Structure 1
Amino acid sequence: MGVQFDHPWLLLLLIPLVFGARYAYRSDFRLLGGRKKWAIGLRITIVTLLILLLAGLRTYTLVKDKEVVFLSDRSASMRESSSVSAWMMKASEGKEPKDSIGAVSLGLDAVVEKNLDTSLLTEGSLGGKVNPGFTHLEKGLQLATSLFGGQGNRHVVLISDGEENIGEVLNGAKLLKERGITVDVLPYDEPDRKDVSVESLQIPEKLYLAESFTFDVLISSTYSGTGELRLYEDNTEIGRKTVALEQGENRFALQGMARAPGLHRYRAEIFAEGDEQSANNANYAFTRVSGSPKVLIVEGKSGTSSNLENVLQSGLIDYSVIDPGLLPSEMAKYAAYDSIIFNNVSGDQVGGKQMEMIEGAVRSYGIGFMMVGGEDSFGMGGYYKTPIEKLLPVSMELEGKREIPSLGLILVIDRSGSMSGDKIELAKESAMRTVELLRPKDTVGVVAFDDQPWWVVEPQKLDDKDSVIAKIGSIPSAGGTDIYPAVASATEKILDISAQRKHIILLTDGQSALNSGYNDLLTTMNEEKITMSTVAVGDDADVQLLQTLAKGAKGRYYLVKDATTLPAIFSREAAMIARTYIVDKPFVPALVQTGDWQDLLSGGLPKIYGYVAATAKSTAQTVLASPEPDPLLARWQYGSGRSVAWTSDLTGKWSRDWVEWAKFSDLFTEMVKWTFPQFTASPYEVNTVAQGNEVHFEVKAEGDLVPEELEAVVAGEDSQETRIPLVQSSPGVYTGIMEVSSSGSFLINLQGKSGGESIDGGTGTGFVIPYSPEYHLRTEDSQEKLQTLAELTGGRVLTWENPQAVFEFTTKPYKSLRDWDYALLVAALMLWLADIAVRRLALPWGRMAEALLAAMPWRRRADSRAAAGPGQPGASAEADAGLARLAARKSRAAAFYGGAGGDAAPPKAQAPPARPPQGGAAGEPAGSARAAQPQAKTPPPASPPQEEAAPGAERLGRLLDAKRRGKR
């Protein structure tokens, strides 16, 4: 250990301190004796501590311990991650006991796998998860160097192939060197492999219908051979060609034709013999084809859209008809249509992801939407609180419309271990949405079950929905599956409910033991007019049992493959039980706000025989209404798009007079056309360039319209939107940057403001990040970059054969300083308090010290020997010691009160009074004897002569008198 000072010249203050202390001791001082010495000593110590504090006293030890952080590249290009982990663990075994080891892994991001400590690396400590789609070496180095705690012997061991595609690792190399951090590198050299990659696909961004164009395909290969190049339009193959591949870059041009209007995504894919990696075999491009509009019809029941198809044909509108199960799961495919029509489609037929995409397509990309009614649409279809309800001009709640029968509903929810995760969360969301749909006069109960039923919510009126919803949200998942006890308990409880309609919904994803008691339960339900619907989640559910229960209890059976449809099923069940959504009586619609459809609706309207009740939203335009009044035809603007609600059907069941009406075709053609996007062409030219995980936008405003503010709304395949502000870099030119974390196709919609008004720029284009840049073929020697990094930081290039070399570097001892500022301040403060006590407090310091000494064990033993008396050996010596102590006490008392101390002559001792005669006034108090003295007429008689006192007794008397005076 050593000592150093930050400001050693301040130690010169100790010289005047010595002279000041000498002067204070020799000069007159208010205190005398020992207190004077103590006061001067304390002040000298305090000043000395303060001088050491100002001088920056530090102690230090020399440290030779090593600190090593392993930084491992876990990106997709590092295919042998297990060998990397094994090498790191082997290298850690070469450390000394006090050496510290840390571990960090990197990809697009970086995570700490093991904090810096003296323990060895183990397989369990190397489980960090990163995004492997990109390599960001610079970010990994920043995190690794932040772990170091010492000031020297710090090494980062970077294990990578050097294929970074984000950032520049060499930019921070010199800074690391200045900080004393060394980077050792272990290059990962992947063996040569046969690989063919589609590097790019280029086509014109805008085309006209039936226009010919060229596909420009760039293919890179590491070997020579042949392959088959295939082209796809929206996942439909449009051509293939056998091509010869040479090592290096190969460019091919193929002819194509714009066959259909809309935004289309094209894909080029190569299939080559001997190719060892398929992740980079495809690339994509977007183009928009101008032409006649196209409509997507989604029909709930096959063959029920003939009337609607005839309407579109008469209006020369192209269309496609699909089943709800075939709805696309990519946003780009919805952009190929100008409008989407749901024809009597139930919500449980549409997945939650598809609903979100359709809502986003209408709101952000201007695609139209129309819902046509029927027994499975609107509220009867379970669209309450779904993304589809958000974009419609009507809501599914019937607020104060009509008298609705009271409902008693019990939800029986499987909470077994197999329901953990998304299943139980969606089941709880379904139950909560159903509770929200009910009214205060309805009764609801919720029982969750595993191998035993558990009543989450006892059957109760919905006076406090929030409390019921909160209890539902607390349902955990655990245990096995036994259906019968839960259904039996629900049946028993619902019998006590007073309601006009009683219903049970059973949801499970598992098997249950057969129980003969089900027949008795079904008999009781039928006698008491209780219905039950069952929901089977997944193929592992007891399908046969659930079908039997639903049929026996006169309910409905649902087999759910997509768990996101559960909320729609529960909402639909609640609506179907009440059966108040369907208004089944004839009427002539009333005109409300016809707008530009006035001419088509004039001259009288046909009768309607039924519809699905709904409530018009506050900002929606109700065109036709029923006598209730409920909206029959409503429309509104939703974001960038438009939507229309027709609450009756188009099959002829409720609208038979309408489908035979002469104006039917013209009216419904206009309804569909009204939903089409309102822009014919985008007023902007959009260019995108992908660099690493960043996409750079450049938007040029065409014409005189230059918005004050502009932003790009980008939606990926997961329907999540990202808003990118675009900055005007030059007149009419806007730029922006977006970070992406995964590959995929993306659509761009531009939105701006000019003069305080919003401007919809439409869907300019799309862009694609086809595959991770980790799968690009190498174009340069990346290991050379790693060697440069090691040279710039003074590091080494390690080898796979010698992992022990990680710790074989020369250490440079460095000082580990210890700061004493706080300790010196505390010590000075405590001594300052002691100094105040010595100078200001008038305490019997001598007696306190004597009492302390008397309490010592050795002193108690000496007192016990003195108690043996003078007859014992050594008694006279002990008596002399007592006299000596009394004399010392007298000197201290005199010094304490400012006397001359031990050097002053003691006052003359008076002779002790004579003892009273034996048997005389010996019993009288001393005070009474003194009081009688003034009355004496004559002086007291002379004392009889006494023997001369012994010298020792006289000295003892004087000391006792001094002691008594000191106590006053």
Structure 2
Amino acid sequence: MGVQFDHPWLLLLLIPFAVGAVYGYRADFRLIGGRKKWAVALRASIILLLVLLLAGLRTYTLVKDKEVVFLSDRSSSMRELSSVSSWIATAGEGKGTQDKVGAVSVGLDAVVEKNLDYSPLTDGSFGGEVGSGFTYLEKGLQLAGSLFGGQGNRHVVLISDGEENVGEVLNGAKLLKERGITIDVLPYIQPDRKDAAVEAFQVPQKLFLAESFTFEVLIRSTFSGNGELRLYEDNTEIGRKTVSLEPGENRYALQGVAKAPGLHRYRAEIFTEGDEQSANNVNYAFTRVTGSPKVLIVEGKSGTSSNLENVLQSGLIDYSVMEPTMLPSEIAKYAAYDSIIFNNVSGDQVGGKQMELIEAAVRSYGIGFVMVGGEDSYGMGGYFKTPIEKLLPVSMELEGKREVPSLGLILVIDRSGSMSGDKIELAKESAMRTVELLRAKDTVGVVAFDDKPWWVVEPQKLDNKDNVIAQINSIPSAGGTDIFPAVSEATEKMLTISAQRKHIILLTDGQSARTSAYNDLLSTMNDEKITMSTVAVGDDADVQLLQSLAQDAKGRYYLVKDATTLPAIFSREAALIARTYIVDKPFVPSLVQPGDWRELLSGGLPTVYGYVATTPKSTAQTVLSSPEPDPLLARWQYGSGRSVAWTSDLSGKWSRDWVAWNKFSDMFTEMVKWTFPQFTASPYDVNTVVKGNEVHFEVKVESDTSPEELEAVIAGEDATEERIPLIQSSPGIYTGVMEVRNPGSFLINLQGKSEGEVIDGGTGTGFVIPYSPEYRLNVEDSQKKLQQLAELTGGRMLSWEDPQAVFQFNTKPYKSLRNWDYALLVAALMLWLADIAVRRLALPWGRMAEALLAAMPWRRRASMRAAAGSGQPGASAEPDAGLARLAARKSRTAAFYGGDGGDATTPPAAVRADAKPRAQTPPTASPPQEGAGRNNGSGTEDAAPGAERLGRLLEAKRRGKR
């Protein structure tokens, strides 16, 4: 260990301080004797500590320990991750006991797999989520460099193929070099294999109907051979061509014709014999074809849309008919339509993701939406608090509109282990949404069951919905499945509930552990007018049992394949048992706010015989209403799109007079056209360039005026939205950057703002990241870059055959400093307090020191040896303890007041160990006579002893007042 000073020249201050200490000790001082020595010593020590503190006293040790951080590339291009993990574990065995080792993994993100410490690495300890679709080595180096705590012998071991596609690894290496950190590289060499990739696919962004255009395809291959190139338009094959591939780039041009209007996604796919990598065989492109609009009709029951089809045909509107279960799960496919019509579609037929995509398509991309009523629509379809209700101009809530029968509802929810994850969460959401739909006078209970029932919410009035919802949200998942006890408990509780309508909803995804006789239970339900609906989640549920229970209990049975439909099912059940949504009495609608439809609706309206009751939203425009009043026809603007609600049907059951009306075709054609996107062509030209995980936008304004603000609204396949502000880089040109984490299709909607007014730029185009850049065929020499990386920082190129070489590098000792500032400051403070005590407190310091010394072990042992030597065990070494105490007190008093008694710490002669005891008794002194004295050898007599002592006391008092 060594010593060093940050400011050694300040040690020169010790010279004047030493002179001052000597002067203070020899000069006239208020304290004398032992106290004077202690006071001078303490103050000198304080000054010494402060000088050392100012000079920056540091101790150090020379350190030769090594610090190594393994940085592992765990992107998709690294295919042998198990061998990498094993190599790192083997290399870690070569570390010394004082060497530190850590581990970091990197993909798009970087994570610490093991902190830098003395513990060894183990095989299989790499499991952090890093985003394997990209390689960001620069970020990995930054994180690895942040783990080091020492000042030397620091190495980062990078294990990678060098095929980075985000950032620049050499920039990160330069930063580590400035900090003295070395980068060793273990190159991962990709095995040679046959691979053909569609690297680029381009079509014009805008086309007119029946326009011819060219597909441009770039295919990169590592081998020679023949293949087949296929083209698709919205998943429909439109052509194929046999191509001959050569190593390197292969470019092809194919002809196509724009046959249908709307936004279309084209796909190019290559099929070759012997291709060992299929993830990069496809690429996509978007184009918008201008022409006649197209409408999608989604019908709840097959063959019930003939009236709607006739209306669209008469208006020369192209359309397609689809079942709810066939709705696409990609937002780009909805963009091919100008409007979507739901014709009496129940919410349990539409998945939760599809609802979110439709809502996003209307809100952000201007696609229209029309809902046509019926017995399975609106509230009766379970749309309460769904994305579809959000985009409609009406809500399903009927609170306060009419007298609704009191309801008693018990939810029986399977909470067994098989319901864990999304199932139990959706079941809880379903129960909570049902509670929100009920009113304060309704009674609700929730019983969860596994192998036995557990009452989550005892049946109670809904005076406090928030409390009930909180209890439902706490349901865990565990255990087996036994249905009968739970249903039996629910039935018994239902018998005690006072309500006009009583209903049980049973949800389970498994087989009951035992088969009990349900006949008596079902008889009780029928006698007490208790109904029960059952919901089977997945194919593993006891379908036969649940179907028979629902049939015998006069309820409904649901087989759920998509768990996201559970909330709609529960909401629909709550609406069905109330039976107040349907108004089935005839009436003639009244005009409320017809607007530009006034002319079509003038001259008298046909009779309507029924509809589904709803409540108009505050900003919606109610065109026609019933006497209740409930909206029969309402419309509004929702984001970039428009939506219309027709609460009666169009099958003829409730609207037979309307279907026969001579204005029916014109009216409903105009209704659908009103929802079409309000732009015919975008005023912007959008170009996108994908670089790594970034998409760069360049938007050119084709009009004469540029907006003050412009942003791109980007929607992905999962219906999530991201708003990217675009910065005007030059007149009429705006740029922006967006980061992406996963491949997929994305649609762009541009929104501008001028003078505080929002300008919708419409759906300009879309862009696609077809596959992860990890699957691109790299044309650069990545091994050369790794070699540069090692040379830049003075590192080594390691080999897979010698993992022990990681810790075999020459070390350079460096100083590990220890800071003493805090310790010196504390010591100086303690000594300062001691200095004050010695100077200001008149304590028996000598006796305290003597007692402290006597308590020391060696002093006790010495006393015992002295007693043993005198032949008197246990006897005191003092001949007369009382006399010794009196003599010691006299000596200390004399020393304190400066008499001749000597130092307070010096024992009197009478109590010295080597003194002989005196046996004679001191003579009795007579009282001093006035004026008595003694000759001092100079012919004069000294003052009386009492006068002399009094003088010393007065002198001490005067010194104390100075």
TM (normalized to structure 1)? 0.92
1:65 shift after superposition: 0.6
Aligned-partner Cα distance in 1 for 2:790–2:886:
83
Q: What is the CA deviation profile of residues 162-220 of structure 1, one whole-angstrom value per residue up to 9, with x for unaligned ones?
A: 00111111123233222110000011111111110111111110000011111111111
What amino acid sits opposite 1:369 in the alignment? F
- Cα contact 1:75–1:131 (8 A) shared by 2: yes
Q: What is the CA deviation profile of residues 245-289 of structure 1, one whole-angstrom value per residue up to 9, with x for unaligned ones?
A: 111111111110001000000000000111110011011100000
Counterpart check, 1:912 vs 2:929: no
Aligned-partner Cα distance in 2 for 1:692–1:900:
96
Aligned-partner Cα distance in 2 for 1:568–1:435:
13
Aligned-partner Cα distance in 1 for 2:174–2:91:
26
1:899 shift after superposition: 3.3
Aligned-partner Cα distance in 1 for 2:366–2:862:
107
The equivalent of 1:945 in structure 2 is none
* 1:840-851 map, 5 Å: 840-851=840-851
Aligned-partner Cα distance in 2 for 1:25–1:692:
79
Q: What is the CA deviation profile of residues 102-121 of structure 1, one whole-angstrom value per residue up to 9, with x for unaligned ones?
A: 11111111111111112221
Secondary structure at the residue paired with 1:14? helix
Aligned-partner Cα distance in 2 for 1:414–1:873:
88
What CA RMSD, in Å, does the superposition of the two structures yield over aligned residues?
2.5
Secondary structure at the residue paired with 2:518? helix
Aligned-partner Cα distance in 2 for 1:388–1:873:
105
Aligned-partner Cα distance in 1 for 2:491–2:704:
71
Secondary structure at the residue paired with 1:504? strand
Secondary structure at the residue paired with 1:132? coil
What amino acid sits opposite 2:448 in the alignment? A
1:433 shift after superposition: 0.3
Cα 1:72–1:877 change in 2 (3 A) is closer
Aligned-partner Cα distance in 2 for 1:444–1:158:
61
The equivalent of 2:325 in structure 1 is 325
The equivalent of 1:653 in structure 2 is 653
1:850 shift after superposition: 3.7
The equivalent of 2:2 in structure 1 is 2
* 1:831-842 map, 5 Å: 831-842=831-842
- Cα contact 1:343–1:371 (8 A) shared by 2: yes
The equivalent of 1:765 in structure 2 is 765
Secondary structure at the residue paired with 2:879? helix
Aligned-partner Cα distance in 2 for 1:876–1:136:
86
Aligned-partner Cα distance in 2 for 1:873–1:426:
91
1:844 shift after superposition: 1.6
Cα 1:185–1:864 change in 2 (3 A) is closer
Cα 1:885–1:574 change in 2 (3 A) is same
The equivalent of 2:604 in structure 1 is 604
The equivalent of 2:251 in structure 1 is 251
1:392 shift after superposition: 0.2
- Cα contact 2:86–2:124 (8 A) shared by 1: no
The equivalent of 2:455 in structure 1 is 455
What amino acid sits opposite 2:730 in the alignment? S
The equivalent of 1:184 in structure 2 is 184
Q: What is the CA deviation profile of residues 752-779 of structure 1, one whole-angstrom value per residue up to 9, with x for unaligned ones?
A: 1101100000000000101111111121
Aligned-partner Cα distance in 2 for 1:782–1:78:
13
1:894 shift after superposition: 1.5
What amino acid sits opposite 2:596 in the alignment? D
The equivalent of 2:699 in structure 1 is 699
- Cα contact 1:846–1:889 (8 A) shared by 2: no
Aligned-partner Cα distance in 1 for 2:825–2:608:
94
- Cα contact 1:399–1:615 (8 A) shared by 2: no
What amino acid sits opposite 1:477 in the alignment? S
Counterpart check, 1:90 vs 2:90: yes
Q: What is the CA deviation profile of residues 59-94 of structure 1, one whole-angstrom value per residue up to 9, with x for unaligned ones?
A: 111111111111111111111111111111111111
Counterpart check, 1:512 vs 2:512: yes
Secondary structure at the residue paired with 1:517? coil
Cα 1:840–1:233 change in 2 (3 A) is same
The equivalent of 2:540 in structure 1 is 540
Aligned-partner Cα distance in 1 for 2:252–2:607:
63
Secondary structure at the residue paired with 2:374? coil
Q: What is the CA deviation profile of residues 770-810 of structure 1, one whole-angstrom value per residue up to 9, with x for unaligned ones?
A: 11111111211110000001001000011111111111100
1:884 shift after superposition: 6.9
Aligned-partner Cα distance in 2 for 1:875–1:209:
127
What amino acid sits opposite 1:807 in the alignment? F
| Long gaps (5+) in structure 2 | 910-920, 930-944, 958-962
Aligned-partner Cα distance in 2 for 1:884–1:439:
99
* 1:390-401 map, 5 Å: 390-401=390-401
* 1:265-414 map, 5 Å: 265-414=265-414
1:516 shift after superposition: 3.6
What amino acid sits opposite 1:246 in the alignment? E
Aligned-partner Cα distance in 2 for 1:903–1:278:
101
What amino acid sits opposite 1:630 in the alignment? D
1:874 shift after superposition: 13
Cα 1:435–1:899 change in 2 (3 A) is same
- Cα contact 1:688–1:697 (8 A) shared by 2: yes
1:543 shift after superposition: 0.3
TM (normalized to structure 2)? 0.93
What amino acid sits opposite 1:721 in the alignment? E
Aligned-partner Cα distance in 2 for 1:188–1:756:
56
Secondary structure at the residue paired with 2:487? helix
Cα 1:460–1:63 change in 2 (3 A) is same
What amino acid sits opposite 2:568 in the alignment? A
Q: What is the CA deviation profile of residues 650-709 of structure 1, one whole-angstrom value per residue up to 9, with x for unaligned ones?
A: 000000000000000000000000000001100100000000000000011111231101
The equivalent of 2:894 in structure 1 is 894
- Cα contact 2:867–2:873 (8 A) shared by 1: no
1:511 shift after superposition: 0.3
Aligned-partner Cα distance in 1 for 2:291–2:903:
126
- Cα contact 2:228–2:242 (8 A) shared by 1: yes
1:95 shift after superposition: 1.2
Secondary structure at the residue paired with 2:671? helix
- Cα contact 1:211–1:258 (8 A) shared by 2: yes
Cα 1:107–1:859 change in 2 (3 A) is closer
Aligned-partner Cα distance in 2 for 1:641–1:202:
29
The equivalent of 1:935 in structure 2 is none
Mean CA deviation greater in 402-411 or 110-119: 110-119
Cα 1:575–1:877 change in 2 (3 A) is closer
Cα 1:726–1:863 change in 2 (3 A) is closer
What amino acid sits opposite 2:122 in the alignment? T
The equivalent of 2:939 in structure 1 is none
Counterpart check, 1:685 vs 2:691: no
The equivalent of 2:940 in structure 1 is none
1:895 shift after superposition: 2.1
How many equivalent residue pairs? 921
The equivalent of 1:795 in structure 2 is 795
* 1:520-599 map, 5 Å: 520-599=520-599
1:903 shift after superposition: 9.1
Aligned-partner Cα distance in 2 for 1:383–1:420:
25
Mean CA deviation greater in 250-259 or 169-178: 169-178
| Long gaps (5+) in structure 1 | 915-929, 931-938, 940-957
1:875 shift after superposition: 9.1
The equivalent of 1:79 in structure 2 is 79
Secondary structure at the residue paired with 1:899? coil
Aligned-partner Cα distance in 1 for 2:473–2:691:
44
The equivalent of 2:916 in structure 1 is none
Q: What is the CA deviation profile of residues 371-396 of structure 1, one whole-angstrom value per residue up to 9, with x for unaligned ones?
A: 00000000000000000000000000
Counterpart check, 1:53 vs 2:65: no
- Cα contact 1:448–1:475 (8 A) shared by 2: yes
Aligned-partner Cα distance in 1 for 2:251–2:29:
104
Aligned-partner Cα distance in 1 for 2:822–2:245:
75
Counterpart check, 1:103 vs 2:115: no
Aligned-partner Cα distance in 1 for 2:605–2:550:
42
- Cα contact 1:866–1:878 (8 A) shared by 2: no
What amino acid sits opposite 1:505 in the alignment? I
Aligned-partner Cα distance in 1 for 2:411–2:742:
40
The equivalent of 1:953 in structure 2 is none
Secondary structure at the residue paired with 1:139? helix
Q: What is the CA deviation profile of residues 270-309 of structure 1, one whole-angstrom value per residue up to 9, with x for unaligned ones?
A: 0011111001101110000000000000000000000000
- Cα contact 1:261–1:290 (8 A) shared by 2: yes
Secondary structure at the residue paired with 1:902? coil
Aligned-partner Cα distance in 1 for 2:648–2:93:
77
1:50 shift after superposition: 0.4
Aligned-partner Cα distance in 1 for 2:540–2:856:
85
Q: What is the CA deviation profile of residues 31-67 of structure 1, one whole-angstrom value per residue up to 9, with x for unaligned ones?
A: 0100000000000000000000000000111111111
Aligned-partner Cα distance in 1 for 2:861–2:540:
91
The equivalent of 1:417 in structure 2 is 417
The equivalent of 1:822 in structure 2 is 822
1:901 shift after superposition: 4.2
